[in-house]
Structure 1
Amino acid sequence: MKRNFSRVLFSILALVLIFSAFSYNPANATANESPRLQELDIAELFGEIETSSDRPTSVIVELEEESIVEANHKGKKQSKANLNKERGKVISELKKQVKTADVNREYDYVFSGFSVELPGNEIIKLLAVPGVKAVYPNVHYTADVISKEEISAEEFSPEMMKSAPFIGANEAWEAGFTGEGVTVAVIDTGVDYTHPDLAHAFGDYKGYDFVDDDNDPMEGPTQYHGTHVSGTVAANGAIKGVAPEANLLGYRVLGPNGGTTEDVVAGIELAVQDGADVMNLSLGNSLNNPDWATSIALDWAMAEGVVAVTSNGNAGPNNWTVGSPGTSREAISVGATQLPYNEYTVELAPSEGVEYPTAKVMGFPSDEELLALNGVEYEFVYVGLGAEADFEGKDLEGKIALISRGGFAFVDKAANAKAAGAVGAIIFNNVAGEHADVPGMAIPTIKTELADGQKLLAELEAGNNTVSFDIEFDKAVGETMADFSSRGPVTLSWMIKPDVSAPGVNIVSTFPNGTYAALQGTSMASPHVAGVAALLLEKNPGWATENVKAALMNTAVDVIDPGTGEAYAHNTQGAGSVRVMDALNTENLVVPGSYSFGKFVKEKGKQVEKQHFEIKNLSNERKTYNFDVEFDGNPEGVKVSTSKNLKVGAGKSQKVNLNVQVDTSKLEPGYYEATITVSDGSQIIEVPSILFVGEPDYPRVTGAFMEKANEDSYYVGAYLPGGAEVLAYDLYVFDEETGGIGAPIDTIGVFEDAPLPYHEFVWDGKVRTEGNTREELPNGDWVLAVYVEEAGVTEYKAYLVTKE
């Protein structure tokens, strides 16, 4: 139902900016003439930045003058001196227009531009400065993990590092490929280069710290992410990374509270200039958009010969959840899998005559710890949502924590229970239905639906505070996609993402101060692929980045969904899970490794879209290739034509045309997956492909935020992949008991024609009361709900925010 808004606020940037083109002379005008008006040519602004406030706003400026790498790849001459001169002209003109503009970082190698802080209401002047091509918000990046568990020296065993052998890294080492001579840049939170498993990989020059602006990329005292990532790439001690003899460089672009675009782009630039062969970026945000400053820098880094690998994000399992820089057109984006595991059934027995039919095993750190719960009677203690404060004053030592869903991540609830001494947990749903399995929980965790959770609470109320478990082996499960792994496609480019997948659940690697930890997230999957890229470049030092990417994608294996017995969708797993030896030994490459034919929106008649790919014969024999294209379900209305019996000489390559004809009148709107099969008679390569019929069903909003601007104002905003014809922000009470949405408070902002992919405004922190007065909203947790209308679709999503 369409909402009616009584208060509509228009952004200055949503209006057409018109200026008089000449001086009007009434003497030369007829009675019916009016002054001629002309639109001013201004740069493109990506997203909507609040321009009605004078608060300092940081943005990234892209110049029309091309970067060194972009110009060189277009056959043009470009130099640092020329870029410095042209950039200087723009900065000089900007400072004439905006006296308070403060330029921070300047870029020239893979991105041409600079970062600058200036009042929001003067950004319009920046857009009008000659030489400015585009302006991007300086967005926030994080290095989130799904869970963290430090491993004591007593508990640690090198056998815990199972993921590298699983993808075949140990076989590569035996074949003589260890990453020797290849340099991998870890663009992250820094790295503890003194760790005994990592020290071998660093020389005198170790990288750069863009957080503290010095030559020491040592990880901060409360940080660990970059050290863990580095170990997965190149540890060589008690544990071995995928490429144990590779060289490492560390670039600290994320502090304890994350980082921003300006430092991430600076890290990419310096890594390329420092001679990195591979770079890993296990970081991201929720912006599903390919045309972003970071993605542009990565695309040109790939063009310059540096293999860029990035995590796909931890916002799964729904489609369209991939975020920048995983949205990059050229960089290799990586989803997370879970290694094979055993599945168990469970029965609970708190008291005679009470049954809990919805009890299931949710997640556990090891089979041994899960089965250790059998045959023992435990006390269980209710701890609400399972926050740290909920455990205060309660004795959980050797007991079971009973926890309600809501408020924050399941893995954090389990970690808090373990920290309080609990040996297990039961998490019950706070709404009807079943909640997700979460592999790799810090302690054995059982889940139940709401009704069974209420039974447990009733048992406690009746004085029955003990529980026992009957846990039995059910079946073995192969490699699976992690629920948290973000899915594609990418908006605007409509590309499949991730490109490939790799282990990312319970990954044991290096931790600061010479220790080890098990972490999970796509941040842990990405460095596996960066390590494999290093092995490929050791064997093939002259390979272009597109060859490395194709080898990884062409030889990946399908990950099978145990629930269906079928391979996961392309937008879930990409081309599949990487396999080292297959990639090293491939004799054929299909470039690129996946396709999107884009949108088919012609209402009558047939629409044809063309693609081409390149077959590279790496062998020393002439080969004949055959092709087959199959769309899932063989839908009527789609026809594909391509070559047959294509002959390619030894060491040669040839382009192959592929045409897709779609009659949309015979197809339901939606997206259709296809697999292009390429065979030389011995090796089969499967290339993922998709096309869209009608307007893609991308989410209209993918995130929201509330941040303090100054003493009496806040930045409030949302991520809008397709923009919004109508946009509204509503505040609700956060129900701490259920972790859900409470009573409505007020609508704090209403807008029209908000551009993609980013919108923000300044809020004064006040809400309207029942007496129709405006009062300050108290600090604390609240629910920010975002309503969007765009392209005939309405969407309403809620996010937990904190007002400080």
Structure 2
Amino acid sequence: MLNLLALVLIFSTFGFSVNANGGTQTQVTELPLAEVFGELELSSKRPTSVIVELEAESIVEAKHVGKNQTKASLKSERGKVISELKKAVKTADVNREYDYVFSGFSVELPANEIIKLAAIPGVKAVYPNVHYTADVVSAKEVTAEAFSPAMLKSAPFIGANEAWETGFTGEGVTVAVIDTGVDYTHSDLAHAFGDYKGYDFVDDDNDPQEGAGQYHGTHVSGTVAANGSIKGVAPEARLLGYRVLGPNGGSTEDVVAGIELAVQDGADVMNLSLGNTLNNPDWATSIALDWAMAEGVVAVTSNGNAGPNNWTVGSPGTSREAISVGATQLPYDSYSSVLTTGDVGYASASVMGYPSPEKLLELNGSNELVDVGLAAEADFEGKDVAGKIALISRGGFAFVDKVANAKAKGAVGVVLYNNPGATADIPVVPGLALPTIKLSIADGQKILSEYDAGNTVATFAVEFDKVVGESMASFSSRGPVTFTWMIKPDVSAPGVDIVSTFPGEGYASLQGTSMAAPHVAGAAALLLQKNPNWGTEDVKAALMNTAADVIDPTKNEVYAHNSQGAGSIRVVDALNTNTLVAPGSHSFGKFVKDSGKQVEKQSFEIKNLSNKRKTYSFDVVFAGDPAGIKVSTSNNLKVNAGKSQQVNFNVQVDTSKLEPGYYEGTIVVSDGTQTFDVPTILFVGEPDYPRVTGAFMGKQDEVQYYVGSYLPGGAEVLEYYLFEFNGGIGPIIGALGTFENAPAPFHEFLWDGSVNGEDIAPGDYVLGVYVEQAGVTEYKAYLVTKE
């Protein structure tokens, strides 16, 4: 079964009533249940791994809420719950146990026994043991012959080299890399490791050496602290490696264990370049990170690679406290392009990516096209593309792999056209293995028609156009976060074509928010070297307050806060700041009154780090200057040297004057010579988060299937349709069901496996889900498998 649902089940109590003989109603005593979150098939007997959170606070949480807690007392409380669980579920198999930043344990049991687990006294919540992967969009190893230290452009771009010149190199600061392990024998990394190197939670031993075929953690570690042929952002920082991801990724139980051990091992900073697609702040990993931050460890996470749409940020980037990082692309040269086949032109032709400007310009002239479909290995059989141009369709698998396959077969260039089933344009993907021209859906169909008619010679004219400034990577996930309505990411950093260390004395160019996060982790190390007494909120504020606006080159305007956060980090400005404004962003939350005015209060803290008294002024601007939003705060605030002060402000929202949705704004703080921008956001009415965020299909028994969807806000109208799958959305087969007033958070029904009286054969299909709710309609499609 292919299950794409990310649903949240919240059981506060469980109760029911029955009609006894004679018609009188008997009320049965309610049974309290813990909250149950996640992708859990509660009717299945399949063994399922979950994370259990206990009501007893972790050691760190207890300390911060003024309670006494010890490992021994927690072990006792945990033991009671585990004992009761094994009585109720004989096959329950407990794996990892937690007590430091998370209180609980991981356990495998049949899914249909999870309700028994949730009913045990002392259990606060049950979370899925979700799958985490390393956030990489593409990877390309750089040969020793081709490698040059000049390839390392990202650290100098954010100002790391200027920080080194002033003596800040990360010396004395320990950074934990929670990832796929690390090749600590690499000559550029060996200096950063002592006798104790970390821990391997995949193989459960004291050697976090990266596994065969893995490279992600080594690359991330190099961006943080390489000091050899290339230099990381903090080249004299100490590293600790925690291997929580194996060749096929990892799971919550190991990630939480890695966070716990890193905090206990004395890490000052931790980097988690990993994630999933769950946009929720309350998963176990995010909770562990929040308490790690409270304990004084700066936690940095990647925001995810599911962009560019809003609401695509995934855990642990959704953490309330950790620094979530989006990915930018460094400034690059832009080229114009013209493509013709014979007398036929293609207006949408534009440069998608290339390995170097020289290789791109070598494309100019005429060359033969060879249609290789999706460009899978089998698509090249019987076709000669050596020295020719591969004509490739979008779909099936990653762009970089398509182009790499073409290069492996000897092609010198690619024309890649959009698939008719696609819902978005093909993005620019810098660093592709071959010079690649992209086409729209319409032009793709036109060039195929010309090709079939024998018009197979393509002529290219590519010219330099302009330099494009730093921009957000199209793949970088966007906020906001559901339930907390927070802006994410917090900041951004370079994440495209990042050259760093590769296992076995190598180097590689990778891209993804995984590559952006370690720039921020390294910057945090530099800040802590200069300011060893700073708290985590100070480090976060310094990076956010001094970040530079990223400009959308297609619109020539600043990207939205939910794309870039506070902006792209600038190390020297963060090191030299004389003011800290924390928190570095604000959410006023939801305003849901149907009419009239609603007022909410907020506050932030200003720290004057200078040796002079400062006077601060404030201005709040919301995008578009909407008439229904008014913010009041102090006009002037005097803060003595080395002191801090709270700033209170109110927001008044007249929902009758505003359309539903969210409104981004900026709180501009000025000390007369410098300004500091604090992103803010508020929501009016029902936020525009997706009405349907997942769908699923699975076999219930020999004749029935369960089908359903995740509906965060419920649905007034809900319809399911089945389509053929042909690499995209194929012809419609028919409707599976129509429903009204489906409640949140999920909907499920039984299907007999037929449409219009005809049985549907097992295989892959597209499940279309149509939703109407609160005046908003939405249609989404999901790949599912009928067993």
Which residue identity is paired with 2:175? V
Which residue identity is paired with 2:607? K
The counterpart of 2:349, out of the listed 334, 353, 359, is 359
Which residue identity is paired with 2:661? G
> Residue 377 of structure 1: SS of its match in structure 2?
strand
**Range with greater deviation from structure 2 (592-601 or 693-702):** 693-702
Which residue identity is paired with 1:601? V
The counterpart of 2:360, out of the listed 341, 365, 370, is 370
Give the conservation status (yes or no) of the 8 Å contact 1:12–1:51: no
Which residue identity is paired with 2:410? G
Report the CA distance shift for 1:713/1:181 in structure 2 as closer, same or farther (over 3 A). farther
Alignment pair present for 1:388 and 2:374: no
Give the conservation status (yes or no) of the 8 Å contact 2:177–2:271: yes
Alignment pair present for 1:685 and 2:671: no
Give the conservation status (yes or no) of the 8 Å contact 2:11–2:34: no
Which residue identity is paired with 2:396? G
CA deviation string 1:736-769 (max 9, x = no partner): 3xx333443774999986754x8899x99x8326
Quote the offset at 1:634 in angstroms.
1.4
Quote the offset at 1:223 in angstroms.
1.4
Alignment pair present for 1:17 and 2:11: no
CA RMSD across the alignment:
3.0
> Residue 210 of structure 2: SS of its match in structure 1?
coil
Give the conservation status (yes or no) of the 8 Å contact 2:8–2:36: no
**Range with greater deviation from structure 2 (137-146 or 609-618):** 137-146
TM norm structure 2: 0.93
1:527-676 matches, within 5 Å, as 527-676=518-667
Which residue number corresponds to residue 304 of structure 2? 313
1:113-512 matches, within 5 Å, as 113-351=104-342, 353-374=343-364, 376-431=365-420, 435-512=426-503
Alignment pair present for 1:40 and 2:40: no
CA deviation string 1:143-176 (max 9, x = no partner): 1311111111111111111001100011011111
Query: How far apart in 1 are the matches of 2:717 and 2:10?
Result: 15
CA deviation string 1:154-199 (max 9, x = no partner): 1111111100110001101111111111111111111111111111
Which residue identity is paired with 1:613? F
Report the CA distance shift for 1:418/1:782 in structure 2 as closer, same or farther (over 3 A). farther
Which residue number corresponds to residue 783 of structure 1? 766
The counterpart of 1:797, out of the listed 780, 783, 787, is 780
**Range with greater deviation from structure 2 (357-366 or 672-681):** 357-366
Give the conservation status (yes or no) of the 8 Å contact 2:14–2:32: no
Give the conservation status (yes or no) of the 8 Å contact 1:503–1:524: yes
Which residue identity is paired with 1:741? G
Query: How far apart in 1 are the matches of 2:202 and 2:329?
Result: 33
Report the CA distance shift for 1:642/1:11 in structure 2 as closer, same or farther (over 3 A). closer
CA deviation string 1:80-124 (max 9, x = no partner): 000000000010011111111111111100000011111111111
Quote the offset at 1:508 in angstroms.
0.8
Question: How many residues matched?
Answer: 778
Query: How far apart in 1 are the matches of 2:271 and 2:397?
Result: 28
> Residue 753 of structure 2: SS of its match in structure 1?
strand
Give the conservation status (yes or no) of the 8 Å contact 2:548–2:569: yes
Quote the offset at 1:718 in angstroms.
5.8
Quote the offset at 1:457 in angstroms.
2.8
Which residue identity is paired with 1:373? L
Report the CA distance shift for 1:213/1:784 in structure 2 as closer, same or farther (over 3 A). farther
Which residue identity is paired with 1:255? G
Quote the offset at 1:791 in angstroms.
5.3
Which residue identity is paired with 1:428? Y
Give the conservation status (yes or no) of the 8 Å contact 1:745–1:767: no
Give the conservation status (yes or no) of the 8 Å contact 1:48–1:760: no
Report the CA distance shift for 1:219/1:748 in structure 2 as closer, same or farther (over 3 A). farther
Report the CA distance shift for 1:605/1:58 in structure 2 as closer, same or farther (over 3 A). same
Report the CA distance shift for 1:412/1:537 in structure 2 as closer, same or farther (over 3 A). same
Query: How far apart in 2 are the matches of 1:466 and 1:251?
Result: 53
CA deviation string 1:435-494 (max 9, x = no partner): 333333222111122343334334433444332321111111100011111110001100
Which residue identity is paired with 1:555? T
> Residue 45 of structure 1: SS of its match in structure 2?
strand
Give the conservation status (yes or no) of the 8 Å contact 2:762–2:785: no
Quote the offset at 1:357 in angstroms.
2.0
Query: How far apart in 2 are the matches of 1:529 and 1:715?
Result: 44
Which residue identity is paired with 1:577? S
Report the CA distance shift for 1:667/1:36 in structure 2 as closer, same or farther (over 3 A). closer
Report the CA distance shift for 1:288/1:718 in structure 2 as closer, same or farther (over 3 A). farther
Query: How far apart in 1 are the matches of 2:582 and 2:703?
Result: 54
Q: Percent identity?
A: 74
Report the CA distance shift for 1:394/1:53 in structure 2 as closer, same or farther (over 3 A). same
Query: How far apart in 1 are the matches of 2:595 and 2:756?
Result: 54
Which residue identity is paired with 1:279? M
Give the conservation status (yes or no) of the 8 Å contact 1:428–1:450: yes
Query: How far apart in 2 are the matches of 1:453 and 1:64?
Result: 58
Query: How far apart in 1 are the matches of 2:238 and 2:64?
Result: 28
CA deviation string 1:557-600 (max 9, x = no partner): 00011122110001110000000000000000000000010111
Report the CA distance shift for 1:710/1:127 in structure 2 as closer, same or farther (over 3 A). same
Quote the offset at 1:405 in angstroms.
2.0
CA deviation string 1:345-397 (max 9, x = no partner): 1112432x2222221112223222212222x4322211101223212332222
Which residue number corresponds to residue 6 of structure 1? none
Which residue identity is paired with 2:14? L
> Residue 142 of structure 1: SS of its match in structure 2?
strand
Which residue identity is paired with 2:506? T
Give the conservation status (yes or no) of the 8 Å contact 2:301–2:323: yes
> Residue 302 of structure 1: SS of its match in structure 2?
helix
> Residue 468 of structure 1: SS of its match in structure 2?
strand
Query: How far apart in 2 are the matches of 1:771 and 1:444?
Result: 51
Which residue identity is paired with 2:197? K
Quote the offset at 1:204 in angstroms.
1.4
> Residue 172 of structure 2: SS of its match in structure 1?
coil
Quote the offset at 1:723 in angstroms.
6.0
